[in-house]
C-alpha cells in the first residue's frame, strides 16, 4: 500500500533543518532554474477578502515536485491569529506519487529569510553591517537569522508598531545572537537611517500604506521590502540605483493582479545573478532594492530537506496515499 508522510507545524520545525542548509538549497534551486532544470510558474491567487489572499504555488526541482497553498490576511491580528497559514504537498517527480503533506508556515518563514541571506551574500555593502528590521514578527526573526549566516550584523536596530513585540524580539535576539548589538528604535526612520541593510516585514496590502521615504536610505544601502510596495514608498524604490526581484515572471503576474501599479520595471532576477548572467553590486555607494516575491521553488526545495530529515529521524505519521 502506498503511504505518505504527514508532519504538523511542530514536527516540521523539530526536524532540525537549519538556515545554512536552507540557504544552500535555495541557492541551488535558483541555479537550477537559471539552467533550465527547475520549474516555478507564477503563483495563482484568489482574494476572498480585500486585504486577504490565498495563493497556489507549484514548483518542480530535480528532487521533488510540490505545491504550497498559502494564505496571507493582513488584518488577522484583530482575531489573535497569525497573518500567514500554509500547507505543503510533495510528490515524486518521476511517478507523481504523493510523498508528504506538511505544515508550510515555518517553511514559508525560513525560505523567505534564506532568499534574503543569499542576496545579502552577493550584494551586502560592508562587513558587520548595521541592519534595520522593521516588523518584528516571524519574518523579521527568520531574516535576522539568515543575515547572521550570510554576513553577521554588528548592530541591529528593530522597530515594530507594537512596542511589546519589538522588545520581545530584541530580548530573544540577544540570547540567540550574543555577538550582535541589538537596539530598540523609537521610530521606523530611526531604525532605517544609517542602516547598511534594511528589512521591512510588515503586512502585504493591495492598497499600499507607504511609510519609508527615500531620504532615509543611506548611500550604499541594501533594502529588502518583504511586504512588496506596501511599506516602501514608490519614491524610495525609484531612488535606488538597482531594483531586483527573485522572479521577473512572478512580478509581471502580480502586477496583472493589481500590485505594483506605477512601480518601475525590475533590473533583473536572482537566477540571473546566481547563474553568472548579471553583475550584482558595481560600487559601494549604490542603493539597491531587492523585492522577494515568494516562489514555490524555494518552498519545495526547503520542504524536500524537511522530508528527508523527517524520514531519517522517524518524525511524523505515515498515512495511506
| CATH code for the domain of 90 | 3.30.1780.10
Task: Please indicate, yes or no, whether residues 153 and 251 belong to a single structural domain of this protein.
Answer: yes
Quick count: other Cβ atoms within 10 Å of Cβ 27? 20
Task: Please indicate, yes or no, whether residues 169 and 279 belong to a single structural domain of this protein.
Answer: yes
Residues designated catalytic = 68
Q: What is the mean pLDDT of the chain?
A: 94
Task: Please indicate, yes or no, whether residues 165 and 286 belong to a single structural domain of this protein.
Answer: yes
Task: Please indicate, yes or no, whether residues 50 and 169 belong to a single structural domain of this protein.
Answer: no
Task: Please indicate, yes or no, whether residues 160 and 19 belong to a single structural domain of this protein.
Answer: no
Task: Please indicate, yes or no, whether residues 263 and 301 belong to a single structural domain of this protein.
Answer: no
Mean pLDDT of 52-63: 93
- 3-state SS record for 128-182: CCEEEEECCCHHHHHHHHHHHHHCCCCEEEEECCCHHHHHHHHHHHHHHCCCCEE
Task: Please indicate, yes or no, whether residues 137 and 26 belong to a single structural domain of this protein.
Answer: no
Q: Specify whether the CB–CB gap between 240 and 263 falls below 8 A.
A: no
Over 80: is that where the pLDDT of 275 sits?
no
Q: Is the pTM of this model over 0.75?
A: yes
- Taken in order 125, 35, 89, 295, the sign of the CA dihedral is positive
pLDDT, position 1: 66
Over 80: is that where the pLDDT of 188 sits?
yes
First-to-last C-alpha distance (Å) of the chain:
8
Residue 64's closest CA among 236, 300, 246, 277?
A: 300
* pLDDT tens, position by position, 21-30: 999 999 999 9
Task: Please indicate, yes or no, whether residues 279 and 181 belong to a single structural domain of this protein.
Answer: yes
Mean pLDDT of 165-187: 97
* pLDDT tens, position by position, 63-88: 899 999 999 998 888 888 988 899 99
Over 90: is that where the pLDDT of 282 sits?
no
How many structural domains comprise the chain?
A: 2
Within 8 A by CB and 6+ apart from 2, the residues are 97, 98, 320, 321
* Range in 21-30, 126-135, 249-258 the model is least confident about: 249-258
* pLDDT tens, position by position, 192-227: 999 999 999 998 888 889 999 999 999 999 999 999
Q: Quick one: cell of 164?
A: 511589546
Q: Specify whether the CB–CB gap between 317 and 126 falls below 8 A.
A: no
Task: Please indicate, yes or no, whether residues 149 and 206 belong to a single structural domain of this protein.
Answer: yes
Name the region of 16 (left: φ>0; alpha: ψ -120 to 50; beta: rest). Answer: left
Given the C-alpha cell 507564477, which residue does it identify?
42
Task: Please indicate, yes or no, whether residues 101 and 127 belong to a single structural domain of this protein.
Answer: no
pLDDT, position 272: 84
- 66: domain range? 3-107+297-320
* pLDDT tens, position by position, 289-307: 999 999 999 999 999 999 9
Q: Specify whether the CB–CB gap between 178 and 156 falls below 8 A.
A: no
Amino acid at each position: 500500500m502506498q503511504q505518505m508522510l504527514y508532519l504538523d507545524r511542530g514536527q516540521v520545525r523539530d526536524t532540525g533543518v537549519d538556515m545554512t542548509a536552507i540557504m544552500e538549497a535555495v541557492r541551488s534551486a535558483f541555479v537550477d532554474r537559471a539552467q533550465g532544470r527547475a520549474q516555478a510558474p507564477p503563483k495563482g491567487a484568489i482574494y476572498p477578502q480585500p486585504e486577504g489572499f490565498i495563493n497556489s504555488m507549484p514548483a518542480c526541482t530535480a528532487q521533488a515536485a510540490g505545491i504550497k497553498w498559502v494564505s496571507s490576511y493582513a488584518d488577522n491580528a484583530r482575531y489573535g491569529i497569525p497573518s500567514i497559514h500554509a500547507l505543503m504537498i510533495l510528490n515524486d517527480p518521476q511517478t507523481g506519487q504523493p510523498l508528504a503533506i506538511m505544515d508550510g508556515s515555518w517553511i514559508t518563514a525560513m525560505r523567505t529569510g534564506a532568499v534574503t541571506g543569499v542576496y545579502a551574500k552577493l550584494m551586502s555593502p560592508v562587513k558587520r553591517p548595521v541592519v534595520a528590521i522593521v516588523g518584528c514578527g516571524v519574518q523579521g526573526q527568520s531574516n535576522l537569522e539568515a543575515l547572521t549566516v550570510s554576513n553577521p550584523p554588528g548592530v541591529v536596530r528593530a522597530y515594530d508598531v507594537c512596542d511589546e513585540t519589538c522588545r520581545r524580539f530584541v530580548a530573544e535576539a540577544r540570547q540567540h545572537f550574543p555577538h550582535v548589538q541589538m537596539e530598540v528604535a523609537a521610530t521606523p526612520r530611526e531604525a532605517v537611517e544609517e542602516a547598511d541593510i534594511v528589512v521591512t516585514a510588515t503586512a502585504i496590502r493591495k492598497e499600499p500604506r507607504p511609510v519609508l521615504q527615500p531620504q532615509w536610505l543611506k548611500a550604499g544601502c541594501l533594502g529588502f521590502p518583504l511586504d512588496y510596495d506596501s511599506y516602501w514608498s514608490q519614491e524610495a524604490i525609484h531612488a535606488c540605483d538597482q531594483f531586483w526581484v527573485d522572479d521577473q515572471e512572478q512580478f509581471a503576474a502580480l502586477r496583472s493582479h493589481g500590485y505594483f501599479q506605477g512601480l518601475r520595471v525590475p533590473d533583473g532576477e536572482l537566477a540571473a545573478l546566481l547563474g553568472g548572467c548579471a553583475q550584482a553590486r558595481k560600487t559601494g555607494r549604490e542603493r539597491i532594492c531587492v523585492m522577494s516575491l515568494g516562489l514555490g521553488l524555494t518552498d519545495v526545495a526547503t520542504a524536500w530537506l524537511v522530508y528527508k530529515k523527517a524520514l531519517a529521524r522517524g518524525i511524523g505519521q505515515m498515512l495511506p496515499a
